[in-house]
Structure 1
Amino acid sequence: MKSKSFNTYKQAKEFLLQTIDYEKLTQYKYDTSTFDLKRMEEMMSFVGNPQKKRKSVHITGTKGKGSTSIIISSALQALGMKTGLFTSPHLIYLGERMKVNDKMISQKMFVELINMLMPYIDRITLKNPILMPTFFEIVTAIAFLYFEREKTDISVLEVGMGGRLDSTNIILPEVSIITPVGYDHTDRLGHTLEKIAYEKAGIIKESVPVISSIQEPDTLAVISKRCKEKKSHLYLVGKDVLIHDIKVTRRNGVYGTEFGIETWRNNYKNIFLPLIGRHQVENCATAIGSLEVLSETGVIKVDNELIINALAKICCPARIEVTSENPLIIVDTAHTVASMKILRESIKENFSFRKLILVIGLSSDKDVEGVLKEITAISDDLILTRTGNPREAEPEQMAVMAKRFPHNNLMVIEDIDEALKEAKRIAERDDLICITGSFFLAGKVKEALN
């Protein structure tokens, strides 16, 4: 039987939307019955194991892994490395997930690469439909093929969820990175930091060096134990990588932070990072630590000036991103209690405004009440909305929770476009509109604002 193939990106996308997509589901088992790395290994073996032919950096964590991935990728490019970048989820276009030197995969290339996988997908599905690769597995496989096709010098690969059972966890990287671990996906990864850290530490490989952001003691204990078991050297932000002289500032009208970083082998002075929030400084320190490891193992040659210049041009979409001024509009993806606390503190430290208008939509599997409690206290107008994604919490149910906390004015506007219109209507020039919550919401907002 001839395998199906696609002539257009639209056809390929429609096929992917019919596969199991755990990014849109709330009820499923998190074990080897649903997340089977053997399936991923077999699919990659079918196309020649492209992931084994390119160098890589592997990154997991609860907070900051996307920003840290972008920072590392930008720095590697500045050092002359042809760099692949795989992140998730996307905001608007699926191709945002896989880039080479900041250029997204073309729709034509996407179709060509998924067609390479279709004979395997059709064969395994015919044999047993339950074994059909998932949305994320197929997209990860396309990224591996793309980086091999483009002959990248190195690729930065962000874990989708967890680490131990993630589709990306079939690589042998040059360095493994763990950003701050916190409470997210607790119904899958576990309800304690130790259990969540166990899943994250699953990316640590035999003798592969590890760099970790600042962690809670329980989390660090799990990571340290795994490193000892795997004979992997562990470098720590706060011990081997130190941050100093942090100063919130604006440079040429751009919001950001100035600081310095000292590592066990280098000193980076007068860094300007055009990202908002002190948490991004820690993400940057973790990224620089990973560059130092890559330099120490001979993968790259570090050049301070090139790295510092690259950092000054960083852009992380939908991470407290200023999209316009007068009124000031920022778009973010804070969706956990910890990330919402960071957003609240960053707003207070970085912006001056008369009134804060908050537009928020959250996934139902998050700690919705805890998240709302963190941010409602500083909002003057609260607009609860949604985009129509099946994972999202009902705005009316969110309103019941929000009424338990101090606020001035609460509105439920189901349609995100109408919610944005209302926010702009009631805003004056010196107000701040903050739109935050799920990646689905941020994507819809970015599309609407563009």
Structure 2
Amino acid sequence: MFTTVDEAINWLHSRERFGIKPGLKRMKEMLEQLGNPERRLKMIHIAGTNGKGSVVSYLRHMFQEAGHETATFTSPYIESFNERISVNGTPISDEHLLKVVNDVKPIVDNLDDNQEIGKPTEFEILTVISIQYFARIAYPDIVLFETGLGGRLDSTNVIHPMLSIITNIGYDHMDILGETIEEIASEKAGIIKSGVPVIAAVAQQEALAVIEAKVNEQQTKLYQLGREFQIIESDNVKNGETFTFQSPFVTLENIEISMKGPHQVRNASLALMAVDYMKRFYSLIVDEQDIRTGLKKTSWPGRFEVVKEKPLTILDGAHNPEGIQALKNTVERHYKEHNVHIIFAAMKDKKLSEMVSLLDSFADTISFVDFDFPRAAASTDLIELSKVKEKQAFAHWSEAYQEVVARIGTEDVVLVTGSLYFISDVRKELYRT
């Protein structure tokens, strides 16, 4: 038994990140020993390379605006560990986290001795903790459940949701998910289940073909952006984006969102299609004003987030080529006339050459920095990948930030990006000052 929440969190962090033996046996065994709490929950399952957190946030704000208690399971965290397990945007309390960890630990200890199944990982245990908390303590109306990695063998894939969402398919975690778009799509498509409709915004035809094949195999329905539902027109405004949304059931004109970028219009459209489906087929009450207000209120830490006005400092958690491309599109859409100074750090297992090449294409200067994380790429290695004229390497982001701020103009933009873990550190420090 743990007596403090710090002990409980340290125990979780001490677990392996990935299981030696892949599969869902450990998850099923733990949930069975808890009495299968997942069966009590009404869930929406969200997978995809990028955009999962934003889609979750759009959905939560719309459901919450309509009066529905909405739970979320997301990763990684930006501000505090507890935020990964939240209800109506409020993280699980230390008291409840400690209680549920103590409920789950004896089951984990028993499995640790079972060589056939293998030891449960940190993420598997955290997934079980979230389910136990939602089902036995919080009792939400709806749970938005985000995959951790992939889909097919992800520890979240033990649920039978009302609806599945696949945001997009891109190149990330290729050492685990596969080298080709088709292989990665196949892993994401692993969340597709018999009779559970799928809402997707998959751009590549080869990936979409994989999704469609799985949908047909499971005899369910696919709603694909650009086909079953549409973004009719979209424009940028000073404080976000506007667009018109059309589904088989409704047309909503002049929708406003506060999160910037064409990719956020796509993410909001996925969430709108999900809400529309839930209204039509589950009689969920969400009126048009709830939708409009919820979307306008939606924000998500670390997603093109303005953390300082002078100088204009923006944090963005883009951590793969698709994310950096979306970031570039957003900068060019909203800050085309401004000089852009980038502070960049990343994990060494990412497609770094492609990411840096994209940064080169719209940055005026780039500062590459080290940060304290086991898989972090060295700034001295990153700088070698860049062809931009003005570039420097720093041991710490704060040195880079001070140097950039000292030399830039009043209309310039400072953009911090490359890793959610990295911007989480930066965010904490900038909000303290």
Structure 1 residue aligned with 2:7: 11
- Please say if 1:308 is aligned against 2:292: yes
**Whole-Å Cα distance in 1 between the matches of residues 283 and 185 of structure 2?**
28
- Please say if 1:448 is aligned against 2:425: no
Kindly indicate whether the alpha-carbon contact (under 8 Å) linking 1:353 and 1:432 is maintained by their aligned counterparts in 2.
no
CA offset digits 1:116-171 (Å, max 9, x no partner): 00111112223449822111111111111121111111100111110000010000
Q: Once the 2 structures are TM-superposed, how far is the Cα of residue 207 of structure 1 from its aligned partner?
A: 0.7
- Please say if 1:347 is aligned against 2:334: no
User: 1:122 aligned to 109, 118, 122, which one?
Assistant: 109
- Please say if 1:216 is aligned against 2:204: yes
The residue type equivalent to 2:75 in the other structure is S
Structure 2 residue aligned with 1:264: 248
Q: Against the structure 1 CA distance between its residues 299 and 147, is the aligned structure 2 distance closer, same or farther, given a 3 Å change threshold?
A: farther
The residue type equivalent to 1:409 in the other structure is E
**Whole-Å Cα distance in 1 between the matches of residues 180 and 168 of structure 2?**
14
Structure 2 residue aligned with 1:89: 76
CA offset digits 1:370-410 (Å, max 9, x no partner): 100001232222111132111111111111111xx2x2321
- Please say if 1:235 is aligned against 2:223: yes
Structure 2 residue aligned with 1:410: 391
The residue type equivalent to 1:428 in the other structure is G
**Whole-Å Cα distance in 2 between the matches of residues 214 and 129 of structure 1?**
38
CA offset digits 1:235-283 (Å, max 9, x no partner): 1111121112311002xxxx20011101110121221100010110011
Structure 2 residue aligned with 1:320: 304
**Whole-Å Cα distance in 1 between the matches of residues 86 and 32 of structure 2?**
23
Question: TM-score scaled to structure 1, two decimals?
Answer: 0.92
Kindly indicate whether the alpha-carbon contact (under 8 Å) linking 1:81 and 1:153 is maintained by their aligned counterparts in 2.
yes
The residue type equivalent to 2:162 in the other structure is E
Q: Against the structure 1 CA distance between its residues 113 and 379, is the aligned structure 2 distance closer, same or farther, given a 3 Å change threshold?
A: same
Kindly indicate whether the alpha-carbon contact (under 8 Å) linking 2:345 and 2:376 is maintained by their aligned counterparts in 1.
yes
The residue type equivalent to 1:323 in the other structure is V
User: 1:420 aligned to 401, 404, 421, which one?
Assistant: 401
Kindly indicate whether the alpha-carbon contact (under 8 Å) linking 1:175 and 1:209 is maintained by their aligned counterparts in 2.
yes
Kindly indicate whether the alpha-carbon contact (under 8 Å) linking 1:353 and 1:430 is maintained by their aligned counterparts in 2.
no
**Whole-Å Cα distance in 1 between the matches of residues 257 and 329 of structure 2?**
18
User: 1:154 aligned to 130, 142, 149, which one?
Assistant: 142
- Please say if 1:432 is aligned against 2:413: yes
The residue type equivalent to 1:20 in the other structure is E
The residue type equivalent to 2:363 in the other structure is S
- Please say if 1:249 is aligned against 2:250: no
**Whole-Å Cα distance in 2 between the matches of residues 376 and 95 of structure 1?**
36
**Whole-Å Cα distance in 2 between the matches of residues 127 and 243 of structure 1?**
51
Q: Once the 2 structures are TM-superposed, how far is the Cα of residue 355 of structure 1 from its aligned partner?
A: 2.5
Q: Once the 2 structures are TM-superposed, how far is the Cα of residue 429 of structure 1 from its aligned partner?
A: 2.1
Question: TM-score scaled to structure 2, two decimals?
Answer: 0.96
Q: Against the structure 1 CA distance between its residues 142 and 343, is the aligned structure 2 distance closer, same or farther, given a 3 Å change threshold?
A: same
Kindly indicate whether the alpha-carbon contact (under 8 Å) linking 1:353 and 1:431 is maintained by their aligned counterparts in 2.
no
Count of residues paired in the alignment: 430
The residue type equivalent to 1:12 in the other structure is A
Fraction of identical pairs, as percent = 32
Kindly indicate whether the alpha-carbon contact (under 8 Å) linking 2:112 and 2:119 is maintained by their aligned counterparts in 1.
yes
Q: Once the 2 structures are TM-superposed, how far is the Cα of residue 354 of structure 1 from its aligned partner?
A: 4.3
Q: Summarize the alignment of residues 356-435 of structure 1 with structure 2, pairs less than 5 Å apart.
A: 356-402=340-386, 405=387, 407-435=388-416
Q: Against the structure 1 CA distance between its residues 299 and 119, is the aligned structure 2 distance closer, same or farther, given a 3 Å change threshold?
A: farther
**Whole-Å Cα distance in 1 between the matches of residues 114 and 22 of structure 2?**
18
User: 2:178 aligned to 186, 190, 193, which one?
Assistant: 190
**Whole-Å Cα distance in 2 between the matches of residues 53 and 331 of structure 1?**
38
Find the residue that maps to 2:414 and give its secondary structure. strand
Structure 2 residue aligned with 1:284: 268
The residue type equivalent to 1:9 in the other structure is V
**Whole-Å Cα distance in 2 between the matches of residues 261 and 100 of structure 1?**
28
**Whole-Å Cα distance in 2 between the matches of residues 392 and 14 of structure 1?**
21
Gapped runs of 5+ residues in structure 1? Answer: 23-31
Q: Summarize the alignment of residues 104-123 of structure 1 with structure 2, pairs less than 5 Å apart.
A: 104-123=91-110
Q: Against the structure 1 CA distance between its residues 328 and 46, is the aligned structure 2 distance closer, same or farther, given a 3 Å change threshold?
A: same
